[in-house]
Amino acid sequence: MTVKVLLVAGARPNFMKVAPVIAALEGAAHECTFVHTGQHYDAVMSDAFIRDLGLRAPDYHLGVGSGSHALQTARIMEAFEPVVVAERPDWVVVVGDVNSTLACALVASKLAQETGCRIAHVEAGLRSNDWLMPEEINRVLTDRLSDLLLTPSRDALANLTREGIDSSRVVFVGNVMIDSLLRMLPQARGRGRGTGTGGHQGLNGGPYAIATLHRPSNVDDRESLTVILSALADLSADLSVVLPLHPRTRARIDSFGLEGLLAPLVATPPLGYMDMLALQADAEIVITDSGGMQEESTVLGVPCVTLRRTTERPVTVSQGTNRLAPWPLTRDGIVRTALDARRSGRVEIGARAPEGWDGHASERIVTALEKASATTERK
């Protein structure tokens, strides 16, 4: 039976999740329509990822751009609705926890009766239990709306059960982002580290840390941003600290007048997927508030320090190479945790990979969609 899927991506962390799913769907002769909402639109936030991952051009580009949460979500909904009506897919498949994820799930759920479409959520069941994070709202509501909940780690099922979601709708498939990582790593490493840093000084064979920051709770507050950048500056006494700057973070550094704190760091524009992968793979430590990098560093065997109060990816701590910096963040707490992490050392690639983080999640996603298509029931 051929399954007709409308697959949605909108923001940078979505592209590495949809690329293997498109390949697996098309490899199994299913019909896949790829929709890019345009939540991220800069060449460095979107095109570079599409190119690096070998993704084909989207069938629909909704071009929604930036705005407040309400505005962005509303624009995505308005633009996505006619696509679902025109395409009448069997499944709308959404990934991750960004505004595009929730907006498209909401549209599909309202059109379920009229078009017969169902919703599948890839990366279901993750919970930070921190309702101040916009992503937590997106996760909980998307899961509530989904007919098929595809989980990346075993802990997710307990979160969903606690919320009253019937386990018959939940399928453990593993982590699809790792499909992209394992596929692209040899090629990324072959290009050499530091390509995207403009061959930056300080990376010529010396040890380095790679840091990323973009969470509103870390970067929208002058005090928090100062604490984090000062800690990174302290660490740079011993090893180069590469800091690719998300547009949000760049804007805050400028408006708070913190440019001076970047002086000891290797600050770069946002990097593409391959450059980030190559840099992470050879780093001494990763310091981040990104969810994806907690997962990638776990598989790469690189110690990671997470600059967040909680993580919705606890398996990266219990099994992987991740640890949380003490909260509330302090300059000294970040430095101490980073030094401990560095001392703990790297492990072999894959040595700490959780179950199902094996490069085959996309195939299990396709199997789950095929099996669920064979049943006519909706939630």
Q: Which residues bind ligand UD1 (CB under 6 A)?
A: 11-13, 39-42, 45, 66, 97-99, 134-135, 214, 246-248
Smallest distance from the beta carbon of 335 to ligand UD1, in angstroms?
Answer: 25
What is the smallest separation between the CB atom of 137 and ligand UD1, expressed in angstroms? 9
CA gap 251, 237 in Å, rounded:
26
Shortest distance, CB of residue 73 to ligand UD1, whole angstroms? 9
Number of Cα atoms under 13 Å in the Cβ half of residue 252: 20
Going by C-beta distance under 8 Å and a sequence separation of 6 or more, which residues neighbour residue 356? 152, 153, 172, 173, 174, 175, 364
Nearer to ligand UD1, 41 or 256 (CB): 41
Shortest distance, position 113 Cβ to ligand UD1, whole Å? 28
CA distance 188 to 169: 37
Q: Toward ligand UD1, which CB reaches closer, 90 or 143?
A: 143
Residue with smaller CB distance to ligand UD1, 118 or 121:
121
Shortest distance, position 201 Cβ to ligand UD1, whole Å: 27
Q: Nearest-CA neighbor of 366 among 21, 4, 9?
A: 21
Q: Give the residue with the Cβ less far from ligand UD1, 13 or 359.
A: 13
Per-residue CA distances from 344 to 305, 318, 337 (Å): 12, 15, 11
Q: Are 53 and 184 in contact (CB under 8 A)?
A: yes
What residues are labeled active site? 214
State the Cα–Cα distance between residues 341 and 346, nearest whole angstrom: 9
Please name the residues in contact with 78: beta carbons below 8 A apart, sequence gap of 6 or more: none
Contact between residue 122 and residue 14 where contact means Cβ atoms under 8 Å apart: no
250 exposed, middle or buried (CB, 10 Å; 0-12, 13-18, 19+)? middle
CB 16 within 8 A of CB 273: yes
Looking at the Cβ atoms of 216 and 264, the one nearer to ligand UD1 is 216
Tell me the C-alpha to C-alpha distance, in Å, between residue 333 and each of 108, 115, 218, 228, 316: 44, 53, 15, 10, 20
- Of the pair 26, 41, the CB lying nearest ligand UD1 is at 41
User: Closest separation between CB of residue 268 and ligand UD1, Å?
Assistant: 15
